[in-house]
Amino acid sequence: MATAGFTESQLTVRDAVSQLCARFPNTYWQEHDQTEQDPADFHAALARDGWLGIALPEALGGSGLGISEATMMMQTIAESGAGMAGAQSIHANVYATQPLAKFGTPNQLQRTIPNIISGKWRVCFGVTEPNTGLDTLRLSTIATKQADGSGYRVTGQKIWITCAQVAAKMILLARTTPLQEVRKPSEGLSLFCIDLDRSQPGLEMRRIKKMGGRAVDANEVFFDGYAIPADSLVGAEGQGFKIILHGMNAERCLLAGEALGLGYAALAKAAEYARNRNVFRRPIGQNQGIAHPLAEAYMRLEAAKLATYHAARLYDASKADESIRQDEIGVACNSAKYLAAEAAFAACERAVLTHGGMGYAVEYDVERYFRECLVPRIAPVSREMILNYVSEKVLRLPRSY
Amino acid sequence: MSALRILVPVKRVIDYAVKPRVNKAQTGVETAGVKHSMNPFDELSVEESVRIREKKSAPGGVEDITVISAGPTKAQDILRTAMAMGADRAIHVEVKEGEDLEPLSVAKLLKVAAEQHKSNLVILGKQSIDDDANQTGQMLAGLLGWPQATQASKVEFGENDSVSVTREVDGGSETLRAKLPMVITTDLRLNEPRYASLPNIMKAKKKPMEKKTLADFGITAERRLKVVKVTEPPVRQGGGKVEDVDGLVSKLKELGAI
Ligand SMILES: Cc1cc2nc3c(=O)[nH]c(=O)nc-3n(C[C@H](O)[C@H](O)[C@H](O)COP(=O)(O)OP(=O)(O)OC[C@H]3O[C@@H](n4cnc5c(N)ncnc54)[C@H](O)[C@@H]3O)c2cc1C
C-alpha cells in the first residue's frame, strides 16, 4: 500500500499495531479458524497495550483519537493475516462503544468504558433480527418497562451476533414502543447497554456454523422476558435509532478498513507467489494473464483506500465543523464500504486463482482470506442497500422499496 | 548512591527484517524507500533504562532518561518510539541523509551531550546493524575517561555507585564491577524490549524533543574513512549430502581437504 498522504498518527498506529500483530502469525489464525477457537489472547494483547480505547475519550482511559486512526488500526490487523476474524474479535469494542461514550450518563461511562478498554469485558452488538433483516426499523425485539420501575424485560430474537459467546455486554437495539403504536418506524426504538448474564432466566444463545472467520462466534440470541435494570438504557427512551446512527457511519469506515487490509494481504501473497513459482521454466508472474489482474486489483484497492480515508476524515472533521452535512458523511462512508469490499473481493479471488491448486490449500492462507472477504460485502449493510441509498440520496431517484 | 541520569543514544537504521541490497553506486546499502526502525540493540538500551527505573533496581533511583539521535529528520520517529517506551526526553541532532557520521564523531558528540546533561550512565547498543562497527561505546568511554562494560547481558546496582555487569565473552560470561559514571553497551540477551502501548505513544507526543545541530556540540562531520567499494557477498554454492561417515571422509579426500 502507498502510505503517502497519511497523517503521522495514522502511520504511528500502523507501525505499532503491525509490530503487535507480528506475534500472531498466519499459522495462529489458520489454527484458530480450524478449531473455531476464540482468539482471546489476541484480544487481550490489544487490550493490554491500550488499543481498544483508541477512539474513546481520554478522560475514560482512552486515547481520544479518531475514526481515521481506528480505521487504520483495523486495516493493519486484517492485513497482518488476522483477517476478518482478528478484526471481528475486537470490532464492536471499538465502534459500538462510540454511541455509548457520546450518550451515556457519567455513571454509565465510569462503570463500563474503563472495563471495556482494559479488556475485562468484551462487547457485542445486537441489531440484526431474523424476521426483519436489513429493514432495521421494523425490528421487533421489545423491552417492556416494569411497572415497579425496576427496569425492563426483553423479549425477542437477534441473529448473527458476533462474539456473543465471549461478550459480557451487549449494545442492544430494541423497541420500547411497539411498531403499531408509533407514527414513524424510526420512533420507539431504544438503545441499551446490557449484561449478558447466562445464569439469568430468559437468555439463550446458539452458535451459527459459518463459511469464514470461524475463530469468532456468530450467534442467534433469544430473549424471553430477560430482566435488565433501568439504568441499562443509553440516552433517552425512543431515541435509539438516532443514537445508533452515530455509530453506524463509523462502523462503515472500520469495515472498509478491514476489507482493505484483507485485500492487501491477499495481494501481497499473490504477488510473492507469482514471482517465485516457476512453471514452463519461468515465473508465472511473467504471464500478463497473471500479472495484469493483480495490477488491476492493486489499483482498485488504492482507489478504495482513498475513498475510505476520505470518509473517515469527513467523519472526524464533522465533530468540529458543522458545515459538514450528515448525509454527506453517510454517502462517503457507505461508498467507501462498498468500494473497499468489492476491491477486497477482487483481490482475494485473484489471489486464489494466482496460486492455482495451492490457492485451495489452507497452508497458503488465501483460501481463508477469500472465505472471509464476503463478509464486508454482506454486513453490516449489503451492497444492494448501499446502491439503493446512493440512488436515492445522491441521484434523487425514486425509492424502489 | 547517586540518582541515575541515563543517556541513551539511538540510531535509525534499515529494519532488521529487510533484506539489504547494495546500491547502484556500490558505496553502501540501498536505503531509499526501505523500511527503517530503531537499531535493535538500541531498543535493548532503552528497555534496560526504563526497567532500571520501573524495578527500582538502582538504590538512588532514576532521575532522567534522555535519548539522543543524530540523523535525518526521520530520526525523530525513533526518538518518539523511545519516549513511548518510557524515556523522558529526546535530543535530535540534525544530520543530512547520506552525511553519516563516523563512530569517532558520534563518540565526540555523545561526550559533549553526556557532559551537558550531567549523565552518569550511558547505555548504548553494542553496534548498529547497518555498519556493524562496534566502536562507538568504546570510543566514548575512552574520550570521557569512564569505565566501560561492553556486550552486557545483565546489569545490577550495588551500594556506593557500584555497578556489576555480566557480559558475554567467548566460552561463557564474565562479570565486571565498576563505579559510576560509566558506559555500558547492550547485547541481545539483556532483555526483551516492550511494545509501546497506545496511551504511552500518545504521552510521548507531549514529551520534549530538543532540536540541535552538530555545531551546537562543537562537532564537524569529519571524514577519516573512505569506503572504496561495497559488493554483495558471493552467492553460496549449495552443499552436497553424504550417506554416512565413510561417505564424508571419501568426499573430503576427493576435494583434497584431508
Ligand atoms: C459474519 C457476520 C457477522 C455479523 N455480525 C453482526 C453483529 O455482530 N451484529 C448484528 O447486529 N448483525 C451482524 N450481522 C448481520 C448483518 O448485518 C446482516 O446479515 C446484514 O445486515 C444483512 O441482513 P440479512 O442477513 O437479514 O439480509 P436480508 O435483509 O434478508 O437481505 C437478503 C438479500 O436481499 C437484499 N435486499 C433486501 N432488501 C432489499 C431491497 N430493498 N433492495 C434490494 N435488495 C434488497 C439484500 O441486499 C441481500 O442481498 C453479521 C453478519 C455476518 C454475515
* C-beta atoms of A50 and B199 within 8 A: yes
- Split at pLDDT 50, 70, 90, the class of B235 is confident
Tell me, using a 6 A CB cutoff, whether residue A388 lines ligand 1.
Answer: yes
Residue among A210, A241, A382 whose CB has most ligand 1 atoms within 8 A, to mutate: A382
Q: What is the pLDDT of residues A78-133, one digit of tens each?
A: 999 999 999 999 999 999 999 999 999 999 999 999 999 999 999 999 999 999 99
pLDDT per position as a tens digit, A16-38: 999 999 999 999 999 999 999 99
- pLDDT tens-digit readout, A47-91: 999 999 999 999 999 999 999 999 999 999 999 999 999 999 999
Picking from A264, A218, A230, the residue whose alpha carbon sits closest to that of residue A124 is A218
Mean pLDDT of all residues in A207-232? 98
CATH number assigned to the domain covering A8-117: 1.10.540.10
The answer, yes or no, to whether any atom of ligand 1 lies below 6 A from the CB of A401, is yes
- CA-CA distance, B176 to B156, in Å (whole number)? 10
Fold classification of A241-393 (topology level): Butyryl-CoA Dehydrogenase, subunit A; domain 3 (1.20.140)
Decide if pLDDT at A220 tops 80: yes
pLDDT band at A375 (very low <50, low <70, confident <90, very high): very high
Set of chain B residues whose Cβ sits within 8 Å of the Cβ of A16: 195-196, 198, 201
- Sort out which chain A residues have CB atoms less than 8 A from B78's CB and list them: none
Mean pLDDT of A259-276: 98
Confidence of residue B97 (pLDDT cuts 50, 70, 90): confident
B16 close contact with A: CB closer than 8 A: no
Output the pLDDT for position B57.
95
pLDDT (tens digit, 9 = 90+) per residue, A301-354? 999 999 999 999 999 999 999 999 999 999 999 999 999 999 999 999 999 999
CB B194 within 8 Å of CB B85: yes
- Listed in sequence order, the residues at least 6 apart from A183 whose beta carbon sits closer than 8 Å to its beta carbon are none
Cell of residue B148, nine digits? 566501560
pLDDT band, very low/low/confident/very high, at B236 (cuts 50, 70, 90): confident
The neighbouring-strand residues paired with A29 are: none
For chain A, how are helix, strand and coil distributed in percent, rounded to 5?
55, 15, 30
With an 8 Å Cβ cutoff, is B199 touching chain A? Answer: yes
Rounded CA-CA distance A119/A131 in Å is: 33
pLDDT for B141:
98
Q: Does A12 contact B80 at a Cβ distance shorter than 8 Å? A: yes
Q: What is the CA radius of gyration of chain A?
A: 21
Q: Kindly tell me if the per-residue pLDDT of B1 is higher than 80.
A: no
Q: What is the dihedral of CA A23, B82, A12, A47, to 10 degrees?
A: 50
Burial of residue B208, with CB atoms counted within 10 A of its CB: 0-12 exposed, 13-18 middle, 19 or more buried: exposed
The C-alpha cell 451476533 sits at A161
For residue B214, pLDDT beyond 90: yes
Q: Residue B33's pLDDT band (boundaries 50, 70, 90)?
A: confident
Across the A:B interface, residue pairs with CB atoms under 8 Å apart total: 30
* Closest Cα in chain A to B36: A15
Report helix, strand or coil for B194.
Answer: coil
Q: Give the pLDDT band (50/70/90) at residue A245.
A: confident
pLDDT of residue A313: 98
pLDDT of A144 above 80: yes
Pocket flag, ligand 1, residue A140 (CB < 6 Å): no
- What is the pLDDT at residue A163? 98
Confidence of residue B27 (pLDDT cuts 50, 70, 90): confident
Tens-place pLDDT, residues B147-189: 999 999 999 999 999 999 999 888 899 999 999 999 999 999 9
CA distances from B84 to A258, A264, B198, B205, B207 (A): 26, 28, 8, 8, 9
The residue written with cell numbers 496460486 in the block is A355
Sheet (strand B209-213) strand order: B172-179, B162-169, B148-157, B182-186, B121-125, B4-9, B62-71, B89-94, B209-213
Q: What is the predicted pLDDT for the residue at A88?
A: 97
Set of chain B residues whose Cβ sits within 8 Å of the Cβ of A64: 202
> Which CATH topology does A123-239 take?
Butyryl-CoA Dehydrogenase, subunit A; domain 2 (2.40.110)
Q: Which residues contact A1 (CB under 8 A, 6 or more apart)?
A: A79, A260, A264, A301, A302, A305
Flag whether pLDDT at A135 surpasses 90.
Answer: yes
Nine cell digits for residue B6: 541515563
ipTM for the complex shown: 0.84
**Among all residues of chain B, which has the CA nearest to that of A59?**
B199
Q: Do A63 and B195 touch (CB under 8 A)?
A: no
Note the pLDDT tens digit of each residue in B150-159.
Answer: 999 999 999 9
Residue-range domain boundaries for chain A = 8-117, 123-239, 241-393
Q: Report residue B258's pLDDT band, with 50, 70 and 90 as the boundaries.
A: confident
CB of A131 shorter than 6 A to ligand 1: no
Same fold across A123-239 and A241-393: no
Q: How far is CA B8 from CA B103, B117, B125, B179, in A?
A: 15, 11, 9, 18
